[in-house]
Chain A
């Protein structure tokens, strides 16, 4: 079983739709959860960074973490064509010198005008 599972999609939605992206994980030591956006031929760009369980909102983006279910989500409201990209979840444990991120495979999102 992979440590992080992410549906690769592709996911295609009309402009203005609400998008829900999800990851599940198996390692209960993960405490920090991130969502990255990656455009073609570019590096991952940090969108959301959360610690432990709960919600975090930033503009049209909301990140949710449910540690009891080992499930994280990213919601995009009022999606725009410029949101078309690959979305990657990433996570890591806390404590000591553990900085290593474990990534999901990424979900390819297309927002159609």
Chain B
């Protein structure tokens, strides 16, 4: 079984630019999550999709962040325009059922300079 795939693995962009991160969950997993870890802090929840619907986006920092999940398959997280404080590692995770562990991807390391 293929795991959760994220790309790019690393992105360096200038402040003000736009970046789009992509996540391919495990096939058949309806639940998809985005998390972020900024340096020195805990991994924090950003949002949760059930199929193509946003179930909970309470962790999204502000309206510069836009997440989509086309047709309930892969998901994208766009940051526009990027700010320095957006730097961190963005993780995607997926799960089949609510009461099961989540499988995380390797993350995208975003550096805004």
Taking beta carbons and an 8 Å cutoff, which residues of A are in contact with B? 2, 4, 32, 34, 36, 41-46, 49, 51, 88, 90, 97-106
Contacts and interface: CB of A to CB of B under 8 A. Distances in A.
Contacts, number: 57
A84 B90 CA distance: 23
Contacts of A36: 104
A105 B102 contact: no
A44 B56 contact: no
8 contacts: A34-B101, A42-B106, A42-B107, A45-B104, A46-B102, A99-B48, A100-B48, A101-B45
Interface residues of B, number: 28
- Give me the 6 closest cross-chain CB pairs, A-B, nearest first: A43-B104, A46-B101, A103-B43, A100-B45, A49-B101, A43-B106
Interface of B: 4, 6, 31, 33, 35, 41-45, 48, 55-56, 58-59, 91, 93, 95, 98-107
Contacts of B105: 43
A41 B42 contact: no
B48 to A, nearest CB: 5
B45 A44 contact: no
Contact of B98 (A49, A99, A103): A99
Contacts of B4: 43
A45 B103 CA distance: 7
